[in-house]
Structure 1
């Protein structure tokens, strides 16, 4: 009986060993015979092509290919293409967007503020000039203490001239008038007018019945005496200039605009002028002319601005700073910081509806006040990235995502 017990124990141990070996073998066979689900899914993914992320535009059909950069290529799977949707774009995790501090703004129609700031110099209004001449030959009998640079008002006397020719003609007119012949009197009066006498002077002679051969020359406008040739005792011939007076009711500001920004100015455009002589005070004017000749030395155009000169505060020779506005012309505007300038083209990063981002090529116009005008490539209401766009542009380039062409904007 004891032997039978020992045999039974041995048999039981042998059976347990066989069971353990069989279980381990089955487990090993199951591991080796049944394929892994993840591995199977990976092996069944369809490869579109192989490429180098550094050169995404190059596609290869061989996994052992080397790119033009000498780097080993990686596969591009079909399911990755589908995950991106029909429109290509860069997908960014919301937490990553927050960490990058991305800021999105919408393109909107508006007007630029001051788009150009230049400098210039105050000058006389050359269209408001009075040239005072002698209407007949004579002598200067008196001057009124005038000198070049003096500021005078309209009607201020310049000099007294003795005109023998006028005195003789006035005596003949009075003699004919005494004859009582209206026709001859009218002819004599017309002769006085042709000699340059005013109707007021003729009436004065007619009423006083005395000749007036000495007349006082006055200034027809208020302004500054530029030249003065009248001196006591000087003989003056007919048509000789006695003085030249420039008006100061309005002045010109000649501003130098770089030729590269010539398209930003036009006749009629508003200008805001500031001078160091009047801190905190602005003078308003408008462009009245853009001179047709550019300065070869400075490569600038001269823009002429007319300014009202109340009280004569603006004096020729003063240096001024000019801010030229855009004239109220509306345009599609985006923040200037949202524009990526590559040298060959200009880009903005669009925000797509499904949370992806894609570069878009744009054509730019004017700038001012932190805004840039978009002439083409973007529609009003489309959202662009104004902060963190350079990282998105780099990711799009590495992923081979093309920029939206200009003609594709809605």
Structure 2
């Protein structure tokens, strides 16, 4: 009986020691976290603090955001860092997330614009009267009529020339010294009497005062300043002929693109009414005047029109090609524009996603030039980036709410 009682007492004592040791160990050793369970706020050390609405800037201590009326949110090492967000492959497939690679290519800063055909004013020729007289006959009676080089335009009667011409004829009949005849000829030349009219008068022996004006160049009569029977005076413009061998395509170009233009750049023009009609030309000049309402400059492109297919007023679609430059390109659909910022969602090497501010350059069709923020070979989200961005912001806000609800000793 005494032996049984002693054994029972020893067993009970051992049990009490085991239980006491268990509780003593719990009170003196840190509790191990279960696999996969998040660490407590006291054990997690933030990498930095940021504003989830403006995730770019980082802060080394908690406080109030300088951008929004909210507290800065901590970012921990086990959250992937850099404000990244993880999405399971199944969810990525359900969301239709598609990525594209940032590439580098040699591209030309070309753009397309619509311009109107105008006369090339450098080819304009004025036909003027050198003497007072009358228009006896008008061969070209309407403006915008086509003329050929050397074509007769009008017959002018100049009575003021009769006296000097008759004087020359009289000197030749009397057989005076050749010097006097030469002086009479010089007087007629100073009065702008055509040589052909003087020669005709000498051949016939009768003073001729009717002369014909001929077109000095081909084109169209852009301005008709007289009618048949009208009086003319010295220096009066009777006709203005506009050449058509080369015409201007005047295009309104935005300021940013106008800075890239240089005289002599080659262009290809297509008729707006018929895309099969193509023309070639060069940039003549950029007019140094900005339209204050549209913030554009006018550029004059000199287009070859020897075939005569272009007429003023027609519309041309001008393709301007700039010099080839090596550029970093990102698909335009991958860029999220927020007014003053441009953001892309980058897929990192560990499979997580992060928003990243980028600085864009020229717009090249369906791609943007990236000046800053990305590197060649980066993977960017081209489809579903708005959902990823929303998920990242939501997790940042929820993480900030949970961190704020936990007891902390940080800054207010």
Q: Note whether the superposition's TM-score is higher than 0.5.
A: yes
2:222 is the alignment partner of 1:226:
yes
Q: How big is the shift at 1:217?
A: 0.7
Partner of 2:245: 249
Question: Is residue 2:333 matched to residue 1:337?
Answer: yes
In the TM superposition, residue 158 of structure 1 has moved relative to its aligned partner by 1.1
Give the counterpart of 2:164 among 154, 157, 169: 169
Please say which structure displays the higher CA radius of gyration: 1
Give the equivalent residue in structure 1 for 2:213.
217
- Using a 3 Å threshold, how does the CA distance of structure 1 residues 98 and 181 change in structure 2: closer, same or farther? farther
Query: Displacement, 1:26?
Result: 9.8
Separation in structure 2 between the aligned mates of residue 97 and residue 286 of structure 1, nearest angstrom: 54
- Hey, what does 2:358 align to over in structure 1? 362
Q: Is the 8 A contact 1:255 1:304 kept in 2?
A: yes
User: What is the CA-CA distance between 1:127 and the residue it aligns to?
Assistant: 2.5
Q: CA RMSD in A?
A: 4.6
Moved more, 288-297 or 199-208: 199-208
Distance 1:91 1:70, change over 3 A: closer
Report the Cα distance in structure 2 between the residues aligned to 1:348 and 1:342, rounded to whole angstroms: 11
Provide the C-alpha distance between the structure 2 equivalents of 1:52 and 1:188, rounded to a whole number of angstroms: 98
Could you tell me how far apart the structure 2 residues matched to 1:98 and 1:69 are?
Answer: 31
Partners of 1:90 and 1:392 within 8 A in 2: no
Note the C-alpha offset of 1:216. Answer: 0.7
Residues 201 and 208, structure 2, Cα contact 8 Å, conserved in 1: yes
2:84 touches 2:355 (CA, 8 Å); kept in 1? no
For residues 77-121 of structure 1, the C-alpha deviation after alignment (integer angstroms, 9 at most, x for no partner) is 6x638x76xxx473757846963543231331422464343x333
Alignment of 1:99-178 (within 5 A): 99=93, 101-112=97-108, 114-117=110-113, 119-144=114-139, 146-177=141-172
CA–CA distance in 2 between the matches of 1:278 and 1:290? 27
- 45, 50, 56: which one pairs with 1:48? 45
Are 1:187 and 2:179 counterparts? no
Select which of 58, 77, 80 maps to 2:78. Answer: 80
Contact 1:335–1:386 (8 Å) recurs in 2: no
Q: The residue matched to 1:310 in structure 2 has which SS?
A: coil
More divergent stretch after superposition (89-98 vs 168-177): 89-98
Alignment of 1:308-347 (within 5 A): 308-347=304-343
Q: TM-score, normalised by structure 1?
A: 0.70
C-alpha contact (below 8 Å) 1:349/1:358 kept by paired residues:
yes
1:291 aligns with 2:323: no
CA distance in 1, matches of 2:346, 2:356: 7
| DSSP 3-state at the match of 1:40 | coil
Provide the rounded CA distance (Å) in 1 between the counterparts of 2:11 and 2:308. 115
Q: 8 Å contact 1:159–1:230 — kept in the other structure?
A: no
TM-score by length of 2: 0.70
The alignment partner of 2:122 has SS state of: coil
Runs of 5+ in structure 2 lacking a partner? 34-38, 64-68, 398-412
Deviation at residue 155 of structure 1 after TM alignment: 1.1
Match of 1:90 among 84, 100, 108: 84
Structure 1 position 361, deviation (Å): 3.2
User: How far apart are 1:399 and its partner, in Å?
Assistant: 5.7
2:144, 2:222 within 8 Å by CA — same for their partners in 1? yes
Count of residues paired in the alignment: 375
- The Cα offsets for residues 252-287 of structure 1, whole Å up to 9 and x where unpaired, read as 233334557654655444444333432433333333
The answer (yes or no) to whether the contact 2:156–2:212 under 8 Å persists in 1 is yes
Question: What's the CA shift string for 1:339-381, capped at 9, x where partnerless?
Answer: 23232322344555666655443322221211212334445x3
Distance 1:70 1:347, change over 3 A: closer
Point out where structure 1 has 5 or more consecutive residues left out of the alignment. 1-10, 62-67, 401-410
CA-to-aligned-CA distance 1:123-147 (integer Å, 9 cap, x gap): 2222222221221122222222522
Conserved? CA contact 2:99–2:380, under 8 Å: yes
Deviation for aligned residue 1:34: 6.7
- 3-state DSSP of counterpart to 2:188: helix
How many angstroms apart in 2 are the aligned matches of 1:169 and 1:367? 71
